[in-house]
Amino acid sequence: MNVRLFVAIEITGEIRKKLAEFQDELKRVDADVGWVAPENIHITLKFIGAMDEEKIEAVVTIIKDSVIHIKPFDLDYRGVGALPTEKNPRVVFAHVIDTGGVLTRIHERLDNQLVALGVEHEDRKFAAHLTVGRIKTRRNVRKLIENLNSYNGFDFGSEHVAQVVLMKSDLSPEGPIYTKLHSVDLI
C-alpha cells in the first residue's frame, strides 16, 4: 500500500504560538487564504510523495545517512514573505534563518540519496521556510500583502534542532493529517 511521505523538522510550541498569533492578525484582512493549522506547521526538508509502505525502512536508513556527522544546531525564525512573488502570491510564509547552511546540506543529501528509491530529484533551489497559508483567490490580496509587510523582520524566536522526522501525510477534506513515523536524532 502507498503512503504519502515527507522529511521535516518540527518546530517548538512557543514558535507555533507566535505563528498562530501572526495568522490571527492576517485573518482580519479577510483574504481567501487556506491557513495551515498551527500544529501542522513545520520545515519540509524533502517531499517524497507516494511510496510503497515496504520502503519506509529504506527511507529511514537514507535519513540516518543524510544526517551523519551533523550535530544539533540552531535556527532563527525572523521575517515573512510571499511566494513566488508579492505581485503574484500563492503562499504566505515565515523565514527560516539557517546561518550554517545545515538544512540545505541535509536536503541535498536526501535529494541525492532518495533517487535510488525512485523519488524525483528536485530542480528548484531549496529554500527553508514555514508555510503559514496558501492563497486561494485574489480577494483582498493587496491588503494581505500590506499587513504581511508590517511583519518584515518580526522575530518569531529561535530553537535548537536535535532531530529530523519522517512524516506521513493523509489528505482529508478538513486538511492534511500528519503522523510522525520515525525520529532520527542528530548526534
Which CATH number is 66's domain given? 3.90.1140.10
Which amino acid appears at position 166 of this protein? L
Give the whole-angstrom CA distance, residue 145 versus residue 160: 30
Element (H, E) at 13: helix 13-27
Model confidence over 23-34: pLDDT tens digits?
Answer: 999 999 999 999
Report the share of the chain in percent with pLDDT over 90.
Answer: 95
Q: For the chain, what is the domain count?
A: 1
For the segment 44-58, the average pLDDT, to the nearest whole number, is 97
Q: 12 is in which domain, residue-wise?
A: 2-185
Geometric angle at alpha carbon 157, from 14 and 142, rounded to 5° = 100
Q: Is the pLDDT of residue 64 over 90?
A: yes
What lies within 8 Å, CB to CB, of 164 at 6+ separation is 7, 8, 9, 45, 63, 66, 67, 106, 183, 184, 186
Place of cell 523519488: 119
What positions carry a catalytic annotation?
A: 42, 129
Looking at residue 136, its pLDDT comes to 96
For the segment 144-159, the average pLDDT, to the nearest whole number, is 95
Buried-state track 22-33, b at ≥16 Cβ within 10 A, e below 16: bbeebeebebeb
- For the record, the C-alpha cell of 107 comes out as 536536503
Q: Is the pLDDT of residue 48 over 90?
A: yes
Give the whole-angstrom CA distance, residue 35 versus residue 50: 24
Looking at residue 175, its pLDDT comes to 85
What lies within 8 Å, CB to CB, of 85 at 6+ separation is none
Q: Is the pLDDT of residue 174 over 90?
A: no
